[in-house]
Amino acid sequence: MILKTEKKERHTDNTSPSSLISVEQDKGITDAGKKYTMDNKKSNLIINALRVVKQGLESMQTLQLKTAEIHKKFLEAQTEASRTLQNMMENTQRLAEASMGLGDSIKEELFINSLREQNIIHNKTEIEPENKSSDSPDNIHEIENNLLESVSHLTGYPKEMLGLDMDIESDLGIDSIKRVEIFSSLEEKLTNIQSISPEIMGSLKTLRQIAEYLTGAFLNNEPQTSTKNTLASPKLAAENELPEINISDINRKVISIVEKPYKRGNKLTIPHGRKVFVTDDNSGLSEAIAEELNSQNIDAIHISKEALMNKKDLPEAAGLIILPTNDLSAKEQKNDKILKDAFILTSHLASDLIDSAAKGGAIFATVTRLDGAFGFKGKGIANAVTGGLAALAKTASIEWESVCCRAIDIAPGWKDNKNIAKAVVAELVNPDPSGPVEIGLDKNLSFGSRFTLKLESSPYQTAQKIQLDLNYGDVVVVTGGAKGITASAVQALAKHIDSTLILLGRSPEPSSEPKWLETLDGESVIKKAILENELGTQNASPVMLEKAYKKHMANREISRNLEKLRQDGISVFYYSADIRKPEQLNRILDDVRSAHGHIKCIIHGAGVLDDRFIKDKTINQFERVFDTKVKGLFNLLESTKNDNLRYLVLFSSIAARIGNRGQVDYAMANEVLNKIAQKESLLRPNCRVVSINWGPWDGGMVSSLLRQLCNLGVSMILSELFCLKPH
């Protein structure tokens, strides 16, 4: 990746290992919580912007400028009522881009909200007539029937298996992605339905609650204000048709650091009687920050993490500032307990902070000491693991729009705690209204300046010939490489090497399918066959059926991917392994070395999702997602410390770069991967180290989202064209 340091119009090129690949609409970060509508004149601006985006000629800066101009006009004209409604219905662009970085799983409602923030589409607030159209349901029974039919169709569960009082997650195994599909299906059937905000969608726990909510919307005699997705372009594709997707070349971007002046905003206030808690870092900085806050009439307490976790008689929180312990040993720097404790504290105080923001104001911040620019100076990182804290703040800023959230990184060489505290508190108490979440502070900066981060286009040379420093028989280890997008990467990589592929995954080693399954396709058909041939129809629950279905489909996908590689003449072996367990991984890699030789390349593509808000997520759910990425990588690096690696490739996500609603664990884990890549690149001069923050793939999206993408001219990464391009 090319890291471009921009300071007073002077540019310096350096080499850095962390790169980001994203779609064309990743045009930068807009202000959180600011919404707008547009008249015809403004809409024409967006039509032109969209046309330019489609042609690939519009620059990030131009689009941001147009957005800012329209935004300003909105702020001058929009009423409080409209703002209140749209605050409920919309999210920030960072939410958009993050949802676009889900890889296999993308949330439609989050993505569409992001497009509003970029002026590609906008909300058109309309007043629905009191008389409902003739196709509106007359009673709850019709809504219930439509709901059950949609769930049955989209999950493959027989309708008679479903009950209205079943919990959507625990009884039906419906994740957030499938939930989006269900609501999208209902919106097509029930034409007068209101758009449902992500908050409401997540709060409805059973099918009956969904039906009752929808019934209330339909039977309300008052005119209803609805927010509809309206394209800025006057041409709307037919809703029931899926246009051909326009796949563009992969749009590659890199991160640069920019020196910008601090813009003092209005002073933040907090409700009377509440406190801002500052965790102890054993360096004196936390005490200095608490003292500076108190000098600004913000009640603050310097406190240990342990005391705060056991909070009983402490006042309600108006703020939380997390500082990791500053004097970590080398062993402790690999200990992810720092991040898990930070998540627990944040989740513990989430309700307090949200409530405080609603009643006046609230602060949430993380303070790290990477290099003063989140590791992008290219001179090394003091503690890579703590880099994950920035993703915690970025995700919180999306989930808690009214809370002032900041991730602050301080240069380790700056030791003046009093002045550091003044700079930190200024960013929190008088926050720059247009400022980003991530702020870098360094004593060597010009007075009143700080570092911020931005994305810059850095396209590949398309004519560049692909050459890899891998010889015949060299061992390439790929985690998660037998399924999903990582498997597509393996298929493409295999066209350019003659090496031995070792694929690691949690699924059991593939076996022959039962005869009754061999010729079947389609989720509903297969689930019906599983009920008849494997589970029996009497006692099987939907969750049991889903588990059995996923097991068979994983077995089928792995078998087919391995067979395709072998047909292409590739030497490939699959091992069932939980890379979170070092003993298991060491044993397998020792066997690999004995049979095939030393390992030359690692591609870490394993990952899982378990989406929930920060305030709702448990530590077990957090660890399941986080450990697969972070512990898995640490175990891989430890197990291969005596191998002369030539390539270390980490699959990260754009969720790490900008956070994502419901994915605090995924964002934090991938941000740790990014920082480890930056650190390892300096430690391994003869190894190509890269962390790729993927944007959206064409695979795994629900059709309704694909339709929106096509209508809006949004390009995606085509999995069939996947290719690792070294440089």
Give the separation between CA 443 and CA 449, rounded to whole angstroms: 10
Residue 59 pLDDT > 70: no
Residue 439 pLDDT > 80: yes
Residue 543 pLDDT > 80: yes
Domain that holds residue 206: 140-223
pLDDT recorded at residue 137: 46
* Highest mean pLDDT of the ranges 307-321, 532-546, 581-595: 581-595
**365 within a domain of the structure (yes/no):** yes
> Do 219 and 263 belong together in one domain?
no
**434 within a domain of the structure (yes/no):** yes
Per the structure, the count of domains in the chain is: 2
Give the separation between CA 176 and CA 88, rounded to whole angstroms: 19
* Highest mean pLDDT of the ranges 62-76, 265-279, 447-461: 265-279
pLDDT recorded at residue 181: 78
Instruction: Decide which of 433, 457, 481 is a domain's last residue.
Output: 457
| Number of Cβ within a 10 Å radius of residue 331 | 7
Strands (E), 564-634: 571-576, 599-604
Residue 181: CATH number of its domain:
1.10.1200.10
Q: How far are the Cα atoms of 336, 341, 379, 451, 680 from residue 374, in angstroms, in the given order?
A: 18, 21, 11, 9, 15
Contact at 8 Å (CB) between 447 and 426?
no
Query: Which of 489, 470, 503 has the alpha carbon at shortest distance from 644?
Result: 470
Mean pLDDT of 146-150: 89
> Do 194 and 299 belong together in one domain?
no
> Do 311 and 421 belong together in one domain?
yes
pLDDT recorded at residue 538: 63
> Do 261 and 309 belong together in one domain?
yes
At 331, the pLDDT band (50, 70, 90 cuts) reads: low
pLDDT in tens, 466-486: 788 999 999 999 999 898 889
Residue 342: CATH number of its domain:
3.40.50.720
Percent of the chain with pLDDT over 70: 68
pLDDT recorded at residue 297: 94
pLDDT recorded at residue 195: 64
pLDDT recorded at residue 332: 53
pLDDT recorded at residue 106: 39
Give the separation between CA 310 and CA 318, rounded to whole angstroms: 17
Stronger pLDDT, 71 or 286, i.e. the higher one: 286
At 413, the pLDDT band (50, 70, 90 cuts) reads: very high
At 31, the pLDDT band (50, 70, 90 cuts) reads: very low
Helix and strand numbers, DSSP H then E, in the chain: 22, 19
pLDDT recorded at residue 442: 96
pLDDT recorded at residue 676: 96
Residue 48 pLDDT > 90: no
At 16, the pLDDT band (50, 70, 90 cuts) reads: very low
Mean pLDDT of 533-550: 86
The token pair that represents 620 in the structure block: 């077990």
Stronger pLDDT, 37 or 212, i.e. the higher one: 212
> Do 303 and 404 belong together in one domain?
yes
**391 within a domain of the structure (yes/no):** yes
Mean pLDDT of 662-667: 95
Percent of the chain with pLDDT over 90: 48
**169 within a domain of the structure (yes/no):** yes
- Region of poorest pLDDT, from 29-43, 176-190, 659-673: 29-43
pLDDT in tens, 271-309: 999 999 999 999 999 999 999 999 999 999 999 998 998
The token pair that represents 126 in the structure block: 């309309």
- Region of poorest pLDDT, from 115-119, 329-333, 490-494, 613-617: 115-119
> Do 218 and 348 belong together in one domain?
no
Mean pLDDT of 300-329: 87
Read off the amino acid at residue 51: R
> Do 306 and 356 belong together in one domain?
yes
Stronger pLDDT, 173 or 607, i.e. the higher one: 607
Residue 42 pLDDT > 80: no
The token pair that represents 548 in the structure block: 């059995």
> Do 316 and 269 belong together in one domain?
yes
- Region of poorest pLDDT, from 3-7, 186-190, 249-253, 265-269: 3-7
Contact at 8 Å (CB) between 497 and 467?
no
Instruction: Please state the three-class secondary structure of 588-618 as a single string.
Output: HHHHHHHHHCCEEEEEECCCCCCCCCCCCCC
pLDDT in tens, 359-374: 999 999 999 999 999 9
Relative to beta strand 18-21, strand 252-261 is antiparallel
pLDDT in tens, 98-143: 333 443 333 444 444 444 443 334 443 443 434 444 444 456 788 8
pLDDT in tens, 384-405: 999 999 999 999 999 999 999 9
The token pair that represents 67 in the structure block: 């957005």
Q: What is the pTM of this model?
A: 0.75
Residue 715 pLDDT > 60: no
> Do 277 and 420 belong together in one domain?
yes
Residues in the chain: 727
**510 within a domain of the structure (yes/no):** no
**323 within a domain of the structure (yes/no):** yes
Residue 203 pLDDT > 60: yes
Mean pLDDT of 713-721: 56
> Do 298 and 434 belong together in one domain?
yes
Mean pLDDT of 26-50: 41
Relative to beta strand 252-261, strand 449-457 is antiparallel
Instruction: Decide which of 201, 223, 245 is a domain's last residue.
Output: 223
pLDDT in tens, 510-523: 999 999 999 999 98
**343 within a domain of the structure (yes/no):** yes
Instruction: Decide which of 223, 243, 269 is a domain's last residue.
Output: 223
At 463, the pLDDT band (50, 70, 90 cuts) reads: low
| Number of Cβ within a 10 Å radius of residue 80 | 7
Residue 411: strand, helix, or coil: coil
pLDDT recorded at residue 15: 38
pLDDT in tens, 220-252: 433 333 333 333 322 333 333 444 444 445 678
- Region of poorest pLDDT, from 323-337, 451-465, 606-620, 624-638: 323-337
- Region of poorest pLDDT, from 93-102, 162-171, 476-485: 93-102
**644 within a domain of the structure (yes/no):** no
Output phi, psi for 205, to 5 deg: -95, -25
> Do 383 and 437 belong together in one domain?
yes
Residue 449: strand, helix, or coil: strand
> Do 281 and 421 belong together in one domain?
yes
